[in-house]
């Protein structure tokens, strides 16, 4: 009887160590990161300011990037939105007054000056009003964000494209077409 209890305790302890060991290993690979910024409207949105909270749980892989490129080649911007919808969440973005939504694609690039460039692309939730009125904004079913995290304090900045779509121009170059003007990101703060 005591031997069975001892074996159960040993197996349970081994299981706990195994689970926590893998969890610790996964966390060493990439720690969760929180980025807060203030988005300032430009042009027709000038004077409007909103807060952005971005949570990065993990970065996208080269396979994720390949899947998006293939989806774009097949069905354009709609294909990218569909592929993003099928990917598992890499993080979350919340804008003032919203619950936020999952982010499907996050890549980080190291820059020569030591700064980091973070690019985020996700399928944008279409609001009830947009769907009801069959608004032209439904065609712009992606959201994109680029943040430059500088090593110098106060120098981090970025751009938010709340509603955009990807197109190929006459020279076969990728173009990002926005529904409204881009928003300027400032007061960028990073927490880990």
Adjacent-strand bridge partners of 191 = 34
42 C-beta neighbours (distance < 10 Å), count: 15
DSSP class of residue 150? -
139 C-beta neighbours (distance < 10 Å), count: 12
On the CB side of 59, how many CA atoms lie within 13 Å of its CA?
A: 12
pLDDT tens over the chain, length 192 residues: 444 444 343 444 443 444 444 434 443 456 899 999 998 877 656 668 889 999 999 999 989 989 988 988 898 888 888 899 899 999 999 988 788 889 999 999 999 999 999 999 888 665 555 555 555 555 667 888 999 999 888 889 999 988 788 776 677 666 777 777 788 999 999 988
CA nearest neighbour of 36 among 187, 192, 155, 152: 187
Pairing outcome for strands 142-149 and 157-168: antiparallel
| pLDDT in the model for residue 49 | 87
| pLDDT in the model for residue 37 | 94
In the chain, DSSP finds a helix count (H) and a strand count (E) of 3, 10
Instruction: Give the pTM.
Output: 0.74
Q: Strands (DSSP E) along 32-169, which ranges?
A: 33-40, 49-56, 91-95, 101-103, 105-110, 116-123, 142-149, 157-168
| pLDDT in the model for residue 4 | 46
Yes or no: say if 144 and 166 are a contact pair by the CB < 8 Å rule. no
Yes or no: say if 92 and 52 are a contact pair by the CB < 8 Å rule. no
């Amino acid at each position: 009887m005591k031997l069975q209890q001892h074996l159960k305790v040993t197996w349970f302890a081994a299981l706990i160590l195994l689970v926590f060991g893998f969890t610790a290993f996964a966390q060493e690979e990439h720690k969760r990161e929180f980025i807060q910024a203030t988005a300032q409207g430009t042009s027709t949105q000038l004077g409007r300011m909103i807060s952005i909270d971005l949570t990065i749980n993990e970065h996208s892989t080269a396979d994720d990037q390949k899947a998006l490129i293939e989806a774009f080649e097949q069905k354009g911007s709609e294909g990218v939105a569909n592929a993003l919808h099928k990917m598992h969440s890499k993080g979350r973005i919340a804008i003032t007054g919203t619950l936020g939504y999952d982010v499907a694609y996050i890549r980080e690039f190291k820059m020569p000056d030591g700064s980091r460039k973070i690019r985020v692309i996700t399928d944008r939730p279409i609001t009830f009003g947009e769907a009801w009125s069959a608004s032209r904004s439904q065609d712009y079913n992606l959201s994109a964000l680029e943040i430059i995290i500088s090593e110098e304090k106060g120098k981090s900045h970025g751009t938010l494209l709340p509603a955009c779509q990807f197109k190929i121009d006459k020279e076969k170059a990728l173009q990002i077409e926005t529904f409204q003007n881009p928003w300027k990101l400032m007061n960028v703060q990073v927490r880990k």
